[in-house]
Amino acid sequence: QAEEEARERALPARTRDGHAIAIGANVNNPEQVPFALDQAAEGVGLMRTEFLFLERGDTPSEDDQFETYRAMLRALEGRPLIVRTLDIGGDKQVGHLHLPKEENPFLGVRGTRLLLRRPDLMEPQLRALYRAARDCVAADAPIGKDAPLAIMMPMITSVPEVLRLRAACERIRAEIGAPPVPLGIMIEVPAAAIQADILARHCDFFSIGTNDLTQYALAIDRQNTELAPEADSLHPAVLRLIHMTCEGAARHRRFVGVCGGIAGDPFGASLLAGLGVHELSMTPRDLPGVKARLRASEMAELKVLAARACAQEDAAAVRALDAGIGGDAS
Ligand code: PEP
Ligand code: MG
């Protein structure tokens, strides 16, 4: 029985009509990799590096970070790893950095905004990443979706932010003599989704952060428990932003992942696949359910489902569409 389940889990998330969706895990440290692989993750679609800062009382040095990134790459044995640069601020406050207190941290100096203002944080992180690439990534390694290492920037709102971070990456890569590493951006601010067709010119891939995209699109603080039932990532307005993102990416043949919570929900994952997302990355325990659901679906049906979802009046009506899609695969 257990063997049977493991065999089923290991099958790719390929729909009945033959469309494969890449399935990654959200994993923050090398110790969590074995469990993710056991759940049949094909790689890591999101490594949140702020946890390296949150889980200790001081700032990890360049060497500390390098060791961690290298350990992640080694644990993954060539499977894709997407490392997100620091996303501090908002809900991730790091006491020992002594950052100024803000009235509205979610609308403040957060993520890439902070990194660009703090070379003392940006330089060691990028150096550690390119040192890990130099050590572990072959010069002829695949680029694009199967790259063994990719770097991703959080909280992008504008083209100049991408250009500035890209320039820093390119300078440091050249200094270190590392192979090229794809550079992607998180789409988690409505401005980025709306300008996806333009941002796609300047980066190699997108990963949609539906937790923040929902918060910023619906103007609901993601930590507000009173409003939690309304902060639904399946709100049609959020789905339309995701659709815009996929269309913008397609114009430049960029791949699009989703690493927010809704990627781990079997029905949410079905909608995302129908909207044109290529990769889903989630908490490891959610992997088997999502895979099973996608394997029981037809992409042609999911596309129709996604279009219908975008046309609904509210999130409840979208959820009501989850009747019998893909059969009883939960
Ligand atoms: C998101 O916003 O959906 C996301 C994946 O990033 P985080 O939850 O770390 O903000
Ligand atoms: Mg986010």
Question: What is the SS3 assignment for the chain?
Answer: CHHHHHHHHHCCEECCCCCEEEEEEECCCHHHHHHHHHCCCCCEEEEECHHHHHCCCCCCCHHHHHHHHHHHHHHHCCCCEEEECCCCECCECCHHHCCCCCCCHHHCCCCHHHHHHCHHHHHHHHHHHHHHHHHHCCCCCCCHHHCCCEEEECCCCCHHHHHHHHHHHHHHHHHHCCCCCCEEEEECCHHHHHCHHHHHHHCCEEEECHHHHHHHHHCCCCCCCCCHHHCCCCCHHHHHHHHHHHHHHHHCCCEEEECCHHHHCHHHHHHHHHHCCCEEEECHHHHHHHHHHHHCCCHHHHHHHHHHHHCCCCHHHHHCCCCCCCCCCC
Nearest CA to ligand 1 atom 8: 211
Ligand 1 contacts CB of residue 110 (under 6 A):
no
Torsion angle (degrees, nearest 10) of CA 292, 294, 298, 302: 140
Query: Where does the pLDDT of residue 303 fall: very low under 50, low under 70, confident under 90, or very high at 90 and above?
Result: very high
Ligand 1 contacts CB of residue 42 (under 6 A):
no
Q: Tell me which of 93-97, 182-186, 261-265 is least confident.
A: 93-97
Query: Where does the pLDDT of residue 293 fall: very low under 50, low under 70, confident under 90, or very high at 90 and above?
Result: very high
Residue 195: the pLDDT is 98
Task: Looking at the CA of 210, name the nearest ligand.
Answer: 1
Question: Is a pLDDT exceeding 90 seen at residue 144?
Answer: no
Distance from the Cα of residue 142 to its chain's centroid: 19
Distance (angstroms) between ligand 2 centre and the Cα of 3 equals 36
Ligand 1 contacts CB of residue 93 (under 6 A):
no
Ligand 1 contacts CB of residue 283 (under 6 A):
no
Residue 7: the pLDDT is 87
Q: What is the pTM of this model?
A: 0.96
Share of the chain above pLDDT 90, in %: 87
> Parallel, antiparallel, or unpaired for β 205-208 and 13-14?
unpaired
Query: Where does the pLDDT of residue 52 fall: very low under 50, low under 70, confident under 90, or very high at 90 and above?
Result: very high
Distance (angstroms) between ligand 2 centre and the Cα of 15 equals 28
What mean pLDDT value characterizes the chain?
95
Question: Is a pLDDT exceeding 50 seen at residue 155?
Answer: yes
The string of pLDDT tens digits covering residues 61-86 is 999 999 999 999 999 999 999 999 99
Query: Where does the pLDDT of residue 9 fall: very low under 50, low under 70, confident under 90, or very high at 90 and above?
Result: confident
Residue 92: the pLDDT is 83
Residue 329: the pLDDT is 39
Q: Tell me which of 90-99, 179-188, 199-208, 265-274 is least confident.
A: 90-99
For range 109-122, the mean pLDDT: 96
Residue 93: the pLDDT is 85
Ligand 1 contacts CB of residue 209 (under 6 A):
yes
Question: Is a pLDDT exceeding 70 seen at residue 330?
Answer: no
Residue 327: the pLDDT is 43
Ligand 1 contacts CB of residue 212 (under 6 A):
yes
**90 CA closest ligand 1 atom index:** 10
For range 211-229, the mean pLDDT: 97
For range 282-290, the mean pLDDT: 97
227: its two tokens: 């409003």
Nearest CA to ligand 1 atom 4: 209
Amino acid identity for residue 294 in this structure: L
Residue 105: the pLDDT is 93
For range 189-201, the mean pLDDT: 98
What residues sit around ligand 2, an ion, with C-beta below 5 angstroms?
188, 209, 212
Residue 55: the pLDDT is 82
214: its two tokens: 């929902």
Task: Looking at the CA of 283, name the nearest ligand.
Answer: 1
Query: Where does the pLDDT of residue 328 fall: very low under 50, low under 70, confident under 90, or very high at 90 and above?
Result: very low
Residue 90: the pLDDT is 82
